[in-house]
Every structure is written in C-alpha cells, then in structure tokens.
C-alpha cells in the first residue's frame, strides 16, 4: 500500500466516512491501480470529506492536488482522481445503486474488494 493510499484512507477515517472499501483494479486497468470507496451520510458530509482530502494532500507536496474532481449537484457521488488512485465518496443510495465493488469483479477472479 502506497503512502498516498494510506494518507487518503486516514483522511477518510478522520472525517468519519463509513463502509470504506479498497478495490484493486490493476487486473482490468492500466491507468488506475486502486479505487477507494466510502459512504457519506449526507451531501454536506460528502463535500466535507472531499474538501478535507484536498486540504490534507495540499500539505503533502509530494502528492500534489487531485488531477480531477467530479461531483453532481447534490453530492450524491464525488469522484476524486489522484492519478493511480480514484476515491469515490458516495451517499448510501448511490453506493447501493451503482455497487462499484460488484462491478469491478469477475466471476473467474472472484471479489477484488476489501473492507477497510
């Protein structure tokens, strides 16, 4: 696990993100290595988590800032692109609907997701 990944996980935990999961996507992606998926209890909570991640990494010059941040108007799903690590901050309904952990597994390989 990289220092960037450990820092992101610690920041997610600091802001009380729930149901953290780590999905290793290297078997399916040359561009990304890991998805970190976290649940926020509300839109405001999701925004606070995203702001905290950005602020935390700003203090670690080696990491830089997110390459890209995408969010919808209600902050049901915020995607933060840290080059090889993608952080998904989702409200419960969106997380249940999209079920990213299940999406990024294959029957032959089995689950690639780990709860943190």
Does pLDDT of 61 surpass 70?
no
pLDDT at 56: 87
More confident residue, 57 or 21: 21
**Using alpha carbons only, what angle is made at residue 96 by residues 103 and 20, rounded to the nearest 5 degrees?**
80
Q: Return mean pLDDT, the chain.
A: 85
Tokens of 87: 């952080």
**For the chain, what is the largest distance between any 2 Cα atoms, rounded to a whole number of angstroms?**
42
Judged against a pLDDT cut of 80, whether residue 66 lies above it is answered with no
Q: Please determine, looking at this structure, whether the domain spanning 3-102 carries the CATH number 3.40.50.2000.
A: no
Sequence spans of domains, the chain: 3-102
Check whether 48 has a pLDDT greater than 60.
yes
Q: Which residues contact 15 (CB under 8 A, 6 or more apart)?
A: 45, 48, 49, 52
Is residue 37 over pLDDT 90? yes
The pTM score is 0.84
Q: Is the pLDDT of residue 114 over 70?
A: no
């Amino acid at each position: 696990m990289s220092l960037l990944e450990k820092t992101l996980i610690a920041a997610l935990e600091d802001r009380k993100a729930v149901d953290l999961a780590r999905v290793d996507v290297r078997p399916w992606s040359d561009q990304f290595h890991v998805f970190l998926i976290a649940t926020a209890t509300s839109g405001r909570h999701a925004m606070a988590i995203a702001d905290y991640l950005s602020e935390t990494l700003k203090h670690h010059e080696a990491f830089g800032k997110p390459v890209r941040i995408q969010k919808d108007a209600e902050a049901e799903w915020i995607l933060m692109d840290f080059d090889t690590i993608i952080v998904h901050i989702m409200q419960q309904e969106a997380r249940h609907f999209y079920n990213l952990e299940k999406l990024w597994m294959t029957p032959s390989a089995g689950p690639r997701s780990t709860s943190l």
